[in-house]
Every structure is written in structure tokens, then in C-alpha cells.
Amino acid sequence: MERLIERFIKYARIHTQSDEESTVTPSTSRQFDFANQLKEELQQMGLTEISLDEKCYLMATLPANTDKKIPTIGFISHMDTSPDFSGKDVQPRIVKSYDGLPIVLDQKENIVMDPKDFPEMLDHKGEDIIVTNGQTLLGADDKAGIAEIVTAVEYLLEHPEIKHGKVRIGFTPDEEIGRGADFFDVEKFGAEWAYTMDGGEMGELEYENFNAAAAKVTFKGRNVHPGYAKDKMVNSMLVANQFMNLMPMDEVPERTSGYEGFYHLISMKGEVENTVLSYIIRDFDRPNFEKRKLDFEQFVSVINKEYGEGTAVATIRDQYYNMREKVEPMKHVVDLAYNAMKEVGVTPKVSPIRGGTDGARLSFMGLPCPNIFAGGLNFHGRFESLPIPNAQKAMQTVVKIIELLAKE
């Protein structure tokens, strides 16, 4: 377990932030710095079939140690950290036996992680917790997952008495900018199914996620001198505002939970002549998802009916779909993880992901891929943390999945 934590801290210090403005893969060359270090580490451990391709996808194999016919399964995590907050010069530190009080991350700048703001901290009272110095994110998303997978296969190599089949591991770039599965070679990976280690709190087990689309509406206006604008000017910003008022006000992220879908305005840029609104559209239910897109186009039609055809132009692009459609026919994949968690003393928490995961796209690429907790909290910001028992149980869950599959 000490090696697990040492490994995570070492990984967290490597700068691997992705860049959503980049048009190449990986989006940042620094992700190769981490990938090359990982590749060397896996070689030294004795894994086989190690490959690192030109797109920064790293794969390796834990060979089977039994002649018993066992399905090949995989475990996947991503190497990049979010561009939402700095991932450079990460300085993790361990808070020993957390006492339930606010944690001062940076005394000079008065950056404090307070359980009044983050009540989940109290669930980990008495535990050792890895935190940041308040200036960066931590990178538990998803370097905790990588450390847990690597340590799990290392443990199995050191304990040959635990019989297991062939296990594939894969580490991907650019997941945080939605491109983690873009160049993932499912055939080369060669697993019958896999698990992404990319969830949060201990016990999370997810095989449902949003159906997702991105939508953009461009509004065209007409600008004339404001002193002589009567019956001539069309202010595209006001037309865009009229469009926004057509949208259902209660179907937004801040007013929805559970299985409820939403429309989310993520950016608006405009002037009199031209305004652009960018939305994301989300729903768990596929028919409802399709209806949401049709309703969105109908709102555009309302604007065009009033101001003239072409005043509002929408583009809608599907991003990913609910993995449940592909995973549920193979429910034993979820049951295996569920039982493994119980075996290592973790209470499984099966819940939908109100978001997406590489596993969703991989499931539709032919690799059913539920998501398992990696243990981190408060991702993508200075208050990210990793309770050490969470990481330990995640690593044990990986080992137990592999062990139970061989027994079955």
C-alpha cells in the first residue's frame, strides 16, 4: 500500500494537462513525458505486449498464469489532467489522521478547504488524505486510477498463487477534453470487456451515463446608427435573449438531478450583428434525448418565423450515448465488479453518471466498459483530494475482479 501512495504522488507531480484548443493528438506533448515513464516502469515490472503509439496510447499485458480458459479483460485510465485548473508543479501533501476541521492549503493566501463547503470531508475523519497546496489541482483524476491499476498488476505478479487470466491495461491521452477514445484501438487491446478506473468516492460503480449532444446557434442581426434605427435595426443579442427565454427554465443543470436531463448554456458571444450561443444537451433516455434535439430545432424555427428564415442557424452534433444500451446485455460485467467490491469490504453504490466517460464511447466501439471508483474528490480544482483508504480499496477491487473472474 505504501508503494501505491508513493506511485500516485510521483505521478501527480508530472505535468500532463491537456489543451482543448489543440488540434493534434495528444493535445500536449508533455503527456508523452508521463507515457514514456510509465512504459519504462511497466517494462521493469515484467509486463508484456507493451506498446506506446504515436497518439500516446499506452497498452500492456499481465500474462495469464493458468491454463484455464478465462476471458481477457482490461482496465483503463487517462493520463491527462483537466485544463480547467493548473496542473503544473503539483505539490501533494498528506494530512495525517484528518481531525474533521478545516484544512489550510495555503496559509499565505488563506486558501482553506472547509467541511462547511465540502461536507464529504467528514466522511473521512480519522483517515490520511492527500491534498494540494492550494495552487493547483491534485490529479487524482485520473492518476489515482493509473496508480491503482499499476499497483494491482504488480501485486498479482508478486503473488502467483492468485490465479488469473490475461489482463490488458490501457492508458489514454486527452480524456479531459473529450478525445480519450478517439484513437483507441479496440481490436489491438483485445479484451472482451474492460473497466475505466475514473470514478470518485469509494464504491461508485457506474454503467449508465447521459446521451450527449453539443449545439450551437448563430443569430444574425442588422446594425445601423442607433439614432436612426427604428424599424431597421435587428440586435442579434436581443434575438438570442428571446431564444433563451423559449428554453425550459427548469431543465438546466442547477435545477436537475438523478435521471433528469437538461439544456446547458455554456457560452455566449455577441454584438449587434452576430451572436453565438453554445449549448450542451443531455438526457439518459434515448427517445427523450432525440426529442430534446427536435425541441431545440423547433425553438430556432420560432425565431426564424418572427425575424425571417436564416436569422437563427443551429448545428447539433451528437457526442456520445448511454453505455447502458451496450453494457446491460452483458450484466455479468457489472455483477463481477459489484461482487468484487463486496469481497474487499466496499459497499457498492450503483448510480448513473451525470456526465460522460471514455467508457461510454468505448462501449459503442465494441468494448463494454463500466466505470469504477478511483477514490478522488472535488476534481478539477484546488480542493481536489484523495483519501488514502479510497485508493487502497480501489486497488484491491481491481485485484479481486481479476481473481473472481478466474474462479468463476
Active site residues: 80, 175
DSSP state of 58: E
- Find the DSSP H helices in 85-179: 140-158
Helices (H), 159-285: 186-189, 236-246
The helix or strand, by DSSP H or E, that contains position 335, with its residue range, turns out to be: helix 332-343
Strand partners, 386: 130
Q: 353: which strand partners? A: 209
Please say whether the beta carbons of 237 and 227 come within 8 A: no
Q: Look at the chain and count its residues.
A: 408
Phi-psi label, residue 211: left if phi above 0, alpha if psi -120 to 50, beta otherwise: beta
Cα distance between residue 144 and residue 142, in whole Å: 5
Are the C-beta atoms of 206 and 199 separated by less than 8 Å? yes
The residue written with cell numbers 437538461 in the block is: 262
